[in-house]
Amino acid sequence: MKLQTTTQEIKIVKAFYTPEEYLQLEEKADDKNEYKDGEITPMTGGITNHNNLAGNFYVCLKLALNDLDYEVYIGDVKLWIPRYRQFTYPDIMVIEGRPTYYSTNTTTVINPRLIAEVLSKSTKDYDRGDKFLYYRSIPEFQEYILIDQTKYYVMQCVKTGQNQWILTEYETEDAMLKLASINVELSLKQLYKKINFSENIE
């Protein structure tokens, strides 16, 4: 069956796609879509709080890691998760050293050390549950940061051993988030700069 796209989004014309077919479609699509073991799912758009939180975190990481051997990516770089046959777009990824790419496609990486997601109403349960399960199958993955956009609240999960993770919660403006996998520290006040908690969430 022939692949088709519209100017706005991928037009789903069959039930199952190979990873290669998905990547071909995604190159032409205006909107981002995720891939889950053969199925293509459109992603919802983020509101300004979501965008600002991801941007604030990205800027802090870029400044802190500027002269070190890390790469920091925001939003538009895809992640391939081989065990679960998934392509997704994490809000933030940090890679130690050089990125390892999926095939010859330089828009998709497979080796993040840290991943951060800004929670939204529609995705928070998935981000805390199945998505974390999928991320944990990545050998290089050491730290997961979940950022609430309705209040000062960050959940940090750090790998401490084989199948072992420790959870730390940060809930006040003056709390200091200490990233274990990359030795970076920032305050929630920095992270939540210009965030309007009265703004409706996604």
pLDDT score, position 4: 46
Higher pLDDT, 51 or 2: 51
- In three-state secondary structure terms, 154 is strand
If you count DSSP H runs as helices and E runs as strands, how many of each does the chain have, helices first?
A: 5, 14
Strand 78-81's sheet: what is its strand order? Answer: 39-42, 33-36, 86-88, 78-81, 105-109, 101-102
User: Would the pLDDT of 18 be above 50?
Assistant: yes
Nearest to 145 by CA among 182, 195, 109, 197: 182
The reply to whether 9 and 79 lie within a common domain is no
Q: Are residues 97 and 128 part of one domain?
A: yes
In terms of pLDDT, which residue wins out, 140 or 3? 140
29/124 same-domain check: no
Question: Residue 9 carries which side chain, given as an amino acid letter?
Answer: E
Q: Is residue 127 part of a domain?
A: yes
Summarize the confidence of residues 134-147 as an average pLDDT: 98
- Which residue range(s) make up the domain with 27? 1-43
pLDDT tens digits, one per residue of 74-114: 989 999 999 999 999 999 999 999 999 998 878 999 999 99
Domain count, the chain: 2
pLDDT beyond 70 at 123: yes
Confidence (pLDDT) at 12: 52
In terms of domains, do 99 and 26 share one?
Answer: no
86 and 38 in a single domain? The answer is no
Residue 196 lies inside a defined structural domain of this protein: no
pTM score: 0.90
CATH number at residue 111: 3.90.1570.10
Q: How would you class 91 by CB atoms within 10 Å of its CB: exposed for 0-12, middle for 13-18, buried for 19 or more?
A: buried
Measuring CA to CA, how many Å separate 65 from each of 4, 60, 90, 94, 99? 41, 9, 19, 10, 15
Domain assignment present for residue 130? The answer is yes
Predicted local confidence at residue 45, as pLDDT: 67
User: What integer pLDDT is reported at residue 185 of this predicted model?
Assistant: 96
pLDDT of 146-191, one tens digit each? 999 999 999 999 999 988 999 999 999 999 999 999 999 999 999 9
Alpha carbon 71 to its chain centroid, in Å, reads 14
Whether 114 is covered by a domain: the verdict is yes
